[in-house]
Amino acid sequence: MDRDGIVDWAGTDGTIKDEDLPNFKGGDVLYFPTVVAPITVSYDLDIDGLKLSPTTIAKIFQREITVWNDPAIAATGDMDSTAVTIRTKKGRLCQINTTRRAAYGYDQRFEVLGSTGMLQCGNHTPTEVLTWNATGIHGDKPEHFFLQRYAAAYRLEITHFFECLQSGAAFRTSIADGVAAQKLADAATESCKSGQPVKL
């Protein structure tokens, strides 16, 4: 029976705290499992359809697998680090390097190099403070995660979305942009599997 003497049977998602048990009347509190449900494994990776075996998932929970380049995960076709080379229709080269093991923060930057100069976009850091001393020049690591890295960008996207809804103006990006990006990703996957370039 509960502490107020109202019910003697109840459902809960958690056990009663030890310090609260003396307040319950009618003897010992007994637990009976009534529901068996699967555990959803959430992950934050830019991939579609990562399928891990029950054994692999169990080893992740048991902390026997702690890195994404573990052979058991690699066997699913997932890749920890990649390098993709793209040649555009105009002959320009694009090199994309990715890794999940940047221990120094969320590193995402790009450079556009041409015969007359270069455009460069670097990482965001929590502060712009640098310490200069005899051991070198030291500053903050890049933002920890993409949520921090793109917080301002997300706010601008939402603002732009509602402004277009109100004014009827065209959106800067469309479904076609997303489809085009997906085609590039699919081509990269096909090229990796075949070992040959893929033409779009």
Q: What is the pLDDT of residue 196?
A: 95
Q: Give the pLDDT confidence score for residue 145 in this predicted structure.
A: 82
Domain-located, residue 51 = no
pTM: 0.61
pLDDT value of position 102: 78
The mean predicted confidence, pLDDT, of the chain is: 85
In a domain, 11, yes or no: no
Question: Is residue 42, in this structure, part of any structural domain at all?
Answer: no
Residue 27 has phi, psi (to 5 degrees) of: 100, -160
102 lies in some domain? yes
Each residue's pLDDT tens digit, 104-163: 888 889 999 999 999 999 888 999 999 999 999 999 999 888 888 888 999 999 999 999
Look at residue 78 and give its three-state secondary structure. coil
Who's near 41: CB < 8 A, 6+ residues apart? 52, 57, 60
94: pLDDT confidence band, cut at 50, 70 and 90? very high
- The answer to whether residue 110 sits within a structural domain is yes
Nearest 5°: CA angle at 82, between 149 and 178? 60
Q: What is the span of the domain harbouring residue 148?
A: 79-194
Average pLDDT estimate for 11-18: 75
Return d(Cα 61, Cα 48) in angstroms, integer.
22
For residue 199, give both structure tokens. 């033409």
User: Is 132 within the bounds of a domain?
Assistant: yes
Residues ≥6 apart with Cβ < 8 Å to 163: 169
Q: Which residue has the higher pLDDT, 146 or 167?
A: 167
The yes-or-no verdict on residue 179 having pLDDT over 80 is: yes
Query: How many angstroms separate the Cα of 158 from the Cα of each of 163, 176, 177?
Result: 9, 19, 17
Helix (H, G, I), strand (E, B) or coil at 192: helix
The pLDDT of 1-6, averaged and rounded, is 58
Check whether 187 has a pLDDT greater than 90: yes
- Answer whether 197's CB lies under 8 Å from 191's CB: yes
Share of the chain above pLDDT 70, in %: 88
The predicted-structure confidence for 22-37, as pLDDT tens digits, reads as follows: 777 767 777 777 766 6
Residue 31 located in a structural domain: no
Number of domains present in the structure of the chain: 1
Q: So what's the pLDDT on residue 7?
A: 64
| Angle CA 130–135–140, to nearest 5 | 30
> Which CATH number does the domain housing residue 157 bear?
3.30.360.10
Is residue 46 predicted with pLDDT exceeding 70?
no
Which residue from 123, 85, 120, 75 is spatially nearest to 102, judged by alpha carbons? 123
- 118 Cβ neighbours under 8 A, 6+ residues apart: 111, 112
Residue 142 lies inside a defined structural domain of this protein: yes
CA gap 21, 27 in Å, rounded: 10
Q: Are 170 and 164 contacting, i.e. CB atoms less than 8 angstroms apart?
A: yes
So what's the pLDDT on residue 118?
95
